[in-house]
Structure 1
Amino acid sequence: MNRETFLGGSVLGVTIRLVLLSIVVGVILTALGITPQNFFYQINVLLRRIYDLGFGAIESVFGYLILGAMVVVPIWLIARVLKTMNRSNSKETQ
């Protein structure tokens, strides 16, 4: 497997896309009041809750899991569908 196959394109192109996407997501998260300090503070709070509450924190972790899955799973599903569509389109053109 070569570098372009792994990255999904040229190194420069992928880097530019990732930088632009990171800026857009950063602006959106800032508009929602999420900052890097706030994010790491919340992770620290989560780890303390897990340590302090023991198994009582499983409920909090489950809540975080559900909340995160609400974002991650649809994005993953859309990416897989688009990748499948691209594969079928490239096979039809051959």
Structure 2
Amino acid sequence: MSNQMNRLLGDTPGRTIVKLLVVSLIVGFVMAVFDLRPFDIFYGLRDFILDLWHRGFDALGAVGDYLLAGAIIVIPAFILLRLFSFRRS
């Protein structure tokens, strides 16, 4: 069991805990220097995803406008061409 735990953690549990504590202390210090809070990062990521989501739908709205404008010309032209080709047959 101990060998499997060491392989999973990459080292002994005690050494892994010490490494995680040291890295957490360094990261916490750097975040304090730059005045970052964990929730600021979380909210920033959430806002980024929401902005991307909303801008994506805006882009789809513009594509829909182009599609509708093109369809106003293409669909009647298609119907007229089909009617004229049907009369020739």
Residue equivalent to 2:79 = none
Residue equivalent to 2:82 = none
Q: Where does structure 1 lack aligned partners over 5 or more consecutive residues? A: 57-94
Q: Where does structure 2 lack aligned partners over 5 or more consecutive residues? A: 59-89
- Give structure 1 regions of 4+ aligned residues with deviation exceeding 4 angstroms: none
Q: 1:17 aligns with which of 3, 19, 36?
A: 19
**2: CA distance, partners of 1:3 / 1:11:** 8
- Deviation string 1:15-45 (CA, Å, 9 cap, x unpaired) is 1110111111111022112111211110111
Q: Which has the larger radius of gyration?
A: 2
**2: CA distance, partners of 1:38 / 1:50:** 18
- Give the fraction of aligned pairs with identical amino acids, expressed as a percent: 20
Residue equivalent to 2:49 = 47
TM-score normalised by L of structure 1: 0.52
Instruction: State the secondary structure of the residue aligned to 2:29.
Output: helix
TM-score normalised by L of structure 2: 0.55
- Deviation string 1:23-72 (CA, Å, 9 cap, x unpaired) is 1111102211211121111011111111111178xxxxxxxxxxxxxxxx
**2: CA distance, partners of 1:5 / 1:45:** 38
**2: CA distance, partners of 1:39 / 1:10:** 31
Number of residue pairs aligned between Structure 1 and Structure 2 = 56
- Cα-Cα RMSD: 2.0
